[in-house]
């Protein structure tokens, strides 16, 4: 893994991933995404970053996406772990091509800490929470089939808008071999609005504090 991870990090934006890397977890572009390239352009977040997919926030270091899976386990019968782990479930991804948490270097401490601090800052900003509320409305409302589901969604939406800030957030990485996408991403979730999927994924979730401590231990 180490050699491929180093080559992945050295790649330029829009550069295709070597098809031989498909043997690494999460390096193959999933079927819904198409590229004009001969080979897959890379993991889904690499593809999204390179092509400036719709996002909640972007700067010169990172992008923040809304988790593609809605926070409703009933949408995934028999596979509830695929649902969002919380009503607020964001994914913060570095623009740099870092394979996974195990591929982090001592020099990445500042980047990981920046991602953490930036999402904290965003969640404390009413305008960002409104942007997130709108994105969740677009994602979830078409899937609400019952009155109880609609009422629960509205309660969660109100809690997001008026009673959520950085103190309600927890941050996790899925470490090798329990990651599903071959581009580092931080799961940013509201710990007061968890779904059943959080419990089902608990064995994968490595808190950011442990990740930062591991990076420091390499110094």
Quote the pTM value.
0.95
Strand bridging mode 57-58 / 169-174: unpaired
pLDDT tens track of the chain, all 219 residues? Answer: 889 999 999 998 888 888 888 889 999 887 777 666 656 678 999 999 999 999 999 999 999 999 999 999 999 999 999 999 999 999 999 999 999 999 999 999 999 999 999 999 999 999 999 999 999 999 999 999 999 999 999 999 999 999 999 999 999 999 888 999 999 999 999 999 999 999 999 999 999 999 999 999 998
Distance separating alpha carbons of residues 97 and 45, to the nearest angstrom: 9
Strand residue runs (E) in the chain: 57-58, 62-66, 89-94, 169-174, 186-190, 205-207
Contact 176, 1 (CB under 8 A): yes
Q: How far is CA 58 from CA 41, 117, 185, in A?
A: 20, 14, 14
* pLDDT tens digit sequence for 125-167: 999 999 999 999 999 999 999 999 999 999 999 999 999 999 9
Distance separating alpha carbons of residues 141 and 26, to the nearest angstrom: 30
Q: In the beta sheet, which residues pair with residue 171?
A: 188
The two three-digit tokens of residue 26, written as one number: 């999460």
């Amino acid at each position: 893994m180490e050699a491929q991870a180093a080559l992945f990090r050295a790649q330029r934006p829009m550069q295709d991933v070597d098809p031989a890397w498909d043997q690494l977890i999460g390096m193959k572009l999933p079927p819904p995404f198409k590229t004009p390239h001969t080979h897959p352009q890379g993991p889904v977040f690499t593809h999204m970053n390179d092509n400036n997919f719709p996002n909640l926030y972007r700067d010169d270091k990172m992008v923040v996406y809304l988790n593609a899976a809605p926070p409703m386990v009933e949408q995934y019968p028999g596979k509830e772990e695929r649902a969002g782990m919380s009503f607020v479930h964001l994914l913060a991804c570095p623009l740099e091509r870092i394979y996974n948490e195990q591929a982090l270097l001592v020099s990445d401490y500042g980047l990981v800490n920046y991602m953490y601090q930036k999402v904290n800052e965003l969640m404390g900003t009413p305008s960002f929470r409104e942007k997130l509320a709108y994105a969740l409305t677009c994602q979830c409302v078409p899937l609400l089939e019952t009155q109880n589901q609609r009422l629960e969604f509205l309660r969660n939406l109100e809690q997001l808008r008026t009673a959520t800030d950085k103190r309600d957030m927890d941050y996790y990485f899925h470490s090798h071999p329990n990651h599903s996408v071959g581009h580092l991403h931080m799961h940013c979730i509201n710990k007061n609005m968890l779904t059943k999927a959080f419990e089902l994924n608990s064995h994968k979730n490595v808190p950011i504090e442990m990740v930062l401590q591991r990076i420091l231990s390499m110094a």
